[in-house]
Structure 1
Amino acid sequence: MMKIAVTSVMVDDQEKALHFYTEILGFVKKRDIPMGEHRWLTVVSKADQDGVELLLEPMGFEPAKVFQKALFDAGIPLTSFNVDDLDRDYQRLLDLDVEFSVPPTQMGPVKIAVLKDTCGNHIQLAQV
């Protein structure tokens, strides 16, 4: 049986990303291992600290920068996080000056919103 242990989000600045993903979104830093110029830097959900790690992946590969910019310019979220109460989290994040490209919107059985993570990505929040 396979399971997902680590997934990644491309970021243009690991320190800025760490601040946003921990101080703003509320994740917890799990690993911070120096790897030359960059770090193996992961965060996890406070509610599941032994669960899937999100690697804040530095953009050292030029084609990754092109891919990230193309997704961002098209308004396509790089990834999606589940939330229990989208309206509450939307308001909390607005109060922290987070910019949203899509406000809470009902899409069939799912309510979504899309935020800008300050690191070059659109991130979808979903309440299922």
Structure 2
Amino acid sequence: MIVTTTSIFVDDQQKALEFYTSKLGFQLKNDVPLGADRWLTVVSPEAPDGVELLLEPSGHPAVKPFKEALVADGIPFNSFGVEDVRAEYERLTALGVEFVQKPADMGPVITAVLDDTCGNLIQIASTKA
């Protein structure tokens, strides 16, 4: 068994698509209309046939309080691996991405946490050399 798709709840699918592609660098994989919403997935350009990230609409009543509680407590919803957190922090900051945690040494990894503009905190992490 393997993971093929994972999801993140987003407030606005189009806004999320623009952020995840133009800022974070993911590539569009699927965009299938489903009534008012879409089956909208992105993938890493480094693994175009790898795990898809579904930009899931936040319409279910349980989603809003769940997301708000995570953000209020500073808990990232997902974690993305990068080669160099500090370099990625600089690249993303230059693109206007807001971070709620600057790069920090966390034992065997370095992490930073960003706001995805769609109601989520996202951690980026890299292992120390």
Residue matched to 1:84: 83
Secondary structure in 2 matching 1:120? coil
Aligned length: 127
Letter in 2 for 1:111: I
What fraction of aligned residue pairs are identical, expressed as a percent?
A: 56
**Take 1:29 and 1:69, find their aligned partners in 2: how far apart are those partners?**
27
- Check if 1:18 corresponds to 2:17: yes
The Cα RMSD (Å) is: 0.5
Gaps of 5+ in 2: none
Letter in 1 for 2:62: P
**Take 1:23 and 1:99, find their aligned partners in 2: how far apart are those partners?**
14
1:34 Cα deviation from its structure 2 partner: 0.4
Residue matched to 1:116: 115
1:60 Cα deviation from its structure 2 partner: 1.1
Matches within 5 A, 1:66-81: 66-81=65-80
**Take 1:18 and 1:73, find their aligned partners in 2: how far apart are those partners?**
24
Structure showing the higher helix proportion among its residues: 1
Letter in 1 for 2:26: F
**Take 1:36 and 1:68, find their aligned partners in 2: how far apart are those partners?**
24
Residue matched to 2:106: 107
**Take 1:50 and 1:77, find their aligned partners in 2: how far apart are those partners?**
25
Letter in 2 for 1:97: G
Matches within 5 A, 1:21-100: 21-100=20-99
1:73 Cα deviation from its structure 2 partner: 1.2
How does the TM-score come out when normalised to structure 2?
0.97
1:97 Cα deviation from its structure 2 partner: 1.0
1:35 Cα deviation from its structure 2 partner: 0.6
1:115 Cα deviation from its structure 2 partner: 0.2
**Take 1:74 and 1:97, find their aligned partners in 2: how far apart are those partners?**
23
Letter in 2 for 1:103: K
Secondary structure in 1 matching 2:49? coil
1:56 Cα deviation from its structure 2 partner: 0.2
Q: Which runs of 4+ in 1 moved over 2 A?
A: none
